[in-house]
Structure formats: C-alpha cells, structure tokens
Amino acid sequence: MNKFHGTGVAMVTPFQADGQVDYSALKTLIDHLVDGGVEYLVSLGTTGESATLNKDEKKKVWEFTAQAVNKRVHLVAGIGGNNTYETAAEIKAFDIAGYDAILSASPHYNKPTQEGIYQHYKTIAEVAPLPVILYNVPSRTGSSVSAETTVRLAKDFKNIIGIKEASGNFELLNQLMRDKPQEFLVISGDDPITLPMIAMGAVGVISVIGNALPKQFSDMVRLCLNGDFKGAHAGNYSLIEFTRLMFAEGSPAGVKSALKHLGVCGDTVRLPLVQVSESTAGKIKEQIEVIK
C-alpha cells in the first residue's frame, strides 16, 4: 500500500456562484494538485462538502474526477455516513473505475459505542469492492475510534488497510502505533501535527491546506518521510499561520478563499457553511504572498 505514503489531498468541490458544481474549476484544481507533486487525491471527503451534495451530484463528481485524473496519481473516494446499511449499499454500488480505495468516516451524531463502531466498519468491509481506510475525526463525529477498535478491525479485515487519524490524541496514537499490524497505515488527518505524527510512524497525510499549497506541503512531508526532520522544520514553521487561517472560520471556507486568491477556483460554499470574512480573506491573501 505504498501508494498511500506521502501527501494525499482531500479536495474541495468548487462551486459556481449559484451553487452548482463547477467542473471546469474542478479540472483546474486537479491539475494544480497533480502538478504540485502530491501522491494521491481524495474525492468527496468531508472537505469536499459531501454532506451537501445529492447522490446524482456525487456520482457525477466521482466519474468526472476519475476521468480528469486519468491515473496520473492514485485516487480515493470518500463514502461515509451514520446510516450503516445505507453507507454499505452506497459503497457496494460504487463504480470503482479509476479508484484505489475508499475513505469512510466513523459515524457522526449517533455517538455509537466502540462495539457499534466495530460493527459499522465490519458491515462496510464485508461489501467493499476496494480497500478501506478508516477515518477518526471526533471533532466532527462526536465520538472517537479507540486504538483497541482500530487494531481489532485491522487484524480482522485484511481489506481495512489504514486509518486517517485526526483525533490529535497522542496517547491514542502511541497505543495504536505500538499495537497495530506492521503493514497497517496510519495517516495524519490533521495538517498542523503531521510532522510529529510522521516522527511517530505515520506514513503521510490527507491534507486540507494541500489544496492551496500542494508543492510546499508535500515537499515538507517528503523530507519527514526521508527522516530529515531538521530540514522539514523550516517548511513546517512557515505554514503555521497559513494553516491557522485555513481553519479560523471553518473548513473548507478558508482553503477555498486561498484557492480564489490563487486563481484556481471560486470561494463559494454551500449552506450551512458561509465564506470567510473580508478580514480573514485579506490575511489569507497576505500569507499566500509570503509563502509563495
């Protein structure tokens, strides 16, 4: 599974001013990321505002993305939800052409027990036509996938190949790194702590800020993966303020503002999200000019 080592980017979904998907801008974004040297892309993760796209829109975005990528980099589809059987049915019916794996977030809102989380992913693993990457993001879901549950899933299902870890819980990470199968991938899901996570054994990141700065961020990640943490420090520190601004008024509103300043796509988001304030947009633009 070396194809998921390095920098993956959880792509935004560009929208036109009227809220419709902007496929021309999506193609521009894909080329921007591929040219920036990232290793793989994630289509319609939470950063892609998947919660506000209907089934027909999702299908069209997935198909368009696979065609636009054209196997230049590896490709992952984000398919998750808090209705286990509906999520499993969507995964089972997914057109895998052009895709290498499925990223599936732990169920939100329901706040299941660890046994409920295990059974949810068991149901998915039993029908998935592609390898599955778990996603632990308690700040969004309201519950956390414990290290014990992750290790149990990794050992019980060979097609569960890794986890995008965005808990920020280093006690959990220590336990997970110690107990997981050797081949099981731990991937940072939190841009600001990617460097220390790689130092602990993570194989890379699925990034938000990489949408805007794919070269800068993937260069830093590659230095880390090569063991050159001293060399990575300058790049990491240079991105601290930019990264803070990306999440200051919610994601992906921040990174869409950056992408607008870069001329990649517009900054339209779908309700209940709104665009960042003029003040934050101005600060984002200033940071881009400093980093570039």
Active site residues: 135, 164
Residues 6+ apart with CB under 8 A from 156: 122
Structural tokens at position 11: 């792509």
DSSP calls for 70-84: TTSSEEEEE---S-H
Which residues make Cβ contacts (< 8 Å) with residue 274, sequence separation at least 6? 253
Token pair for 281:
């947009």
Query: With helix as H, strand as E and coil as C, how does 231-242 read?
Result: HHHHHHHHCHHH
Q: What Å distances lie between residue 254 and 16, 233, 257, CA to CA?
A: 17, 24, 5
Q: Which of 277, 289, 271, 200 is nearest to 19 (CA)?
A: 271
Q: Which 3 state secondary structure label does DSSP give 86? A: helix
Cα-Cα end-to-end distance for the chain:
32
Torsion of Cα atoms, 31 then 33 then 37 then 42, to 10°: -120
From CA 96, how far away is CA 85, in angstroms rounded? 19
In contact, 4 and 183? CB cutoff 8 Å = no
